[in-house]
Amino acid sequence: MAEPAEPHRDWDGFGFATRQVHAGEVEDLTHGSRVTPVHLSAAYRFASFQEATDRFGGSDLGHLYSRNLNPTNQVAEARLASLEGGTGALVVGSGQ
């Protein structure tokens, strides 16, 4: 049985339609989802007070709060940057 292919990290060279659907995807090691899930959480758990301190202080770049950093938004940002030819994008949530 063949090993599954590694997910693409660089979408340069792929067509616009393909990038609309796939650019920015990351492998979901937790659930094995093929399509990026919608993360509805507004806040995230921390393994320790130190981890929370580091994240709020900016020395740990993990998930902190949905308006700041959300796994679904990260994929949307990467996808928009790919489609627009940018190096990055920023999506924001309002009205939460």
**pLDDT score, position 48:** 93
| Percent of the chain surpassing pLDDT 90 | 7
Which positions ≥6 away from 60 have C-beta within 8 Å? Answer: 51, 54
| Closest C-alpha to 74, from 88, 58, 95 | 88
pLDDT > 70: percent of the chain: 85
Is residue 84's pLDDT more than 80? yes
Q: What digits encode the pLDDT tens for the residues 25-59? A: 777 777 677 777 777 777 888 899 999 899 888 88
H or E segment to which residue 73 belongs: helix 71-84
Q: How far is CA 5 from CA 2, 20, 23, 90, in A?
A: 9, 20, 16, 29
H or E segment and range at residue 75 = helix 71-84
Q: Where does the pLDDT of residue 12 fall: very low under 50, low under 70, confident under 90, or very high at 90 and above?
A: confident
pLDDT at 50: 94
CA distances to 13, 83, 84 from 18, rounded to whole Å, are 10, 10, 14
Give me the residue spans of the domains in the chain.
Answer: 41-91
